[in-house]
Amino acid sequence: MAEGPRLTESAGAVFAVLTQAGSATRPQLASLAGLSKPTVSAAVAELEGAGLATHAGTASSGTGRSAAVYGLGPAAGSVLAVDLGPARTRVRACALDGTLLAEADTPRTRAADAVREALAALPAGAPLRAIVVAVGDVTAPDLAGTGMRPATAKAGPVFDAVSVALPPGVPVHLENNVNCAALAELHEGAARGRHTFGYLRIGVGIGLGVVIGGHVLRGANGAAGELARLPYPWDDGREPRQEALEAYVGSQALLRRACEAWPETDGPCPRTAERLFALAAQGREPAQALVARHATDVGRLAAAVAAVLDPGLIVLGGSTGADPQLLPGVRAELGRLSWPTEVVSSQIGDLGTVLGAARLAVAKGVQTVTEGARVKD
């Protein structure tokens, strides 16, 4: 059962602090929660009685006295994060203190198997508190009776297959995959210590995660940063088409240009973006020219981001965007078109989305337990 027990306000506050700390003594919990020691003692007893906290050992102080250390109990439960990526599905199951319990990585066509594999590894009897599914588009209407919103038609069948594997009665939250990756960069990646930045993902598709004041900006429809919807092309006699910008900047267009421009004397044209970038790194001139052109295009997109947000920092991610070979060209074009803005490559890579989804799932899971804490002490 996903619902949390009815807790007092102080017990809810102490539980939330314990999930952040992982383990702590009562004096530490009192300090972190801003509560008196007697109040914390009562709250810990309440949490122990509900199975939400447990004695996890002792710690010695400088005076030689020992204090009981508490951690999360078996009833605290776990959460599940699912990244429905364009090629692969990644799943992470975590305890409410963020500890990794299980993970799975399968081809996109076996998305449901990845979910089942992670669920099977969870502790028996421990409740699943929340599920976060990262998708490419969260703007579709709600599915009647499910509380879930599928991605666009191209992701719909995979989402349907995954939803069948999810246990009933557990809150499911959809989040934009780029927002999840931005959240991971904020806490674990290239944007640590920065409270405002833009995460620009360039791969098969394009997208922008906007972080302002340490919070991801989602927008009224959950669609903030949908760069694919920018009007393009925008010129006399040319009518903008929906998602035409993505079709121009995405990796499929990059490979199409490669096939059109590749000299026969240089062997077969690379069939994947990874191969193209590998050839560029080896010094192959045709590949270097194509990567440089791609960097210029990404730099122009970064200039548009800077013009709207003035973020101070842009983190480049995605299957092509994260390659450091793009940095010089992106920085040069951005500098030509806009004001000084720092540009760096993602440090997390392909795991960014599922890491961010797991962090969000933990927050949702803690909320599920503590939202019932309305009983006055």
Q: Is there a contact between 198 and 346 (Cβ–Cβ < 8 Å)?
A: no
Residue 103 phi, psi (nearest 5): -150, 155
Decide: helix, strand or coil at residue 101: strand
Cβ–Cβ under 8 Å, residues 177 and 185: no
pLDDT reported for residue 153: 35
Distance of CA 352 to the CA centre of its chain: 6
Alpha-carbon span 63 to 26, nearest angstrom: 17
Give me the torsion for CA of 91, 110, 185, 200, rounded to 10°: -160
| Domains 78-179+353-367 and 190-347 in one fold | yes
Per-residue pLDDT of the chain (377 residues; tens, 9 = 90+): 455 668 999 999 999 999 999 999 999 999 999 999 999 999 999 999 999 999 988 887 656 678 899 999 999 999 999 999 888 999 999 999 999 999 999 998 898 999 999 999 998 888 999 999 998 876 654 433 344 444 333 345 666 777 878 888 888 988 999 999 999 999 999 999 999 999 999 999 999 999 999 999 999 888 899 999 999 998 888 889 889 999 999 999 999 999 999 998 988 999 999 999 999 999 999 999 999 999 999 999 999 999 999 999 999 999 999 999 999 999 999 999 999 999 999 989 889 999 999 999 999 999 999 986 555 55
Strand, coil or helix: what is 13?
A: helix
Class of the CATH-defined domain 78-179+353-367: alpha beta
Residue 356 has, within 13 A of its CA and on its CB side, a CA count of: 30
pLDDT given at position 149? 44
pLDDT score recorded for residue 145: 39
Q: Does domain 9-75 have CATH number 3.20.80.10?
A: no
Q: Residue 146: its pLDDT value, please?
A: 42
Q: Where are the domains of the chain?
A: 9-75, 78-179+353-367, 190-347
Integer Cα distance of 26 and 48 in angstroms: 13
Phi first, then psi, for residue 52 (nearest 5°) are -90, -15
Record: fold of 190-347: Nucleotidyltransferase; domain 5 (3.30.420)
Q: Which amino acid is at 89?
A: T
Q: CA dihedral in degrees (105, 106, 110, 113; nearest 10)?
A: -40
Q: Distance between the two ends of the chain, CA-based, in angstroms? A: 25
Q: What span, in angstroms and rounded, lies between the C-alpha atoms of 225 and 204?
A: 16
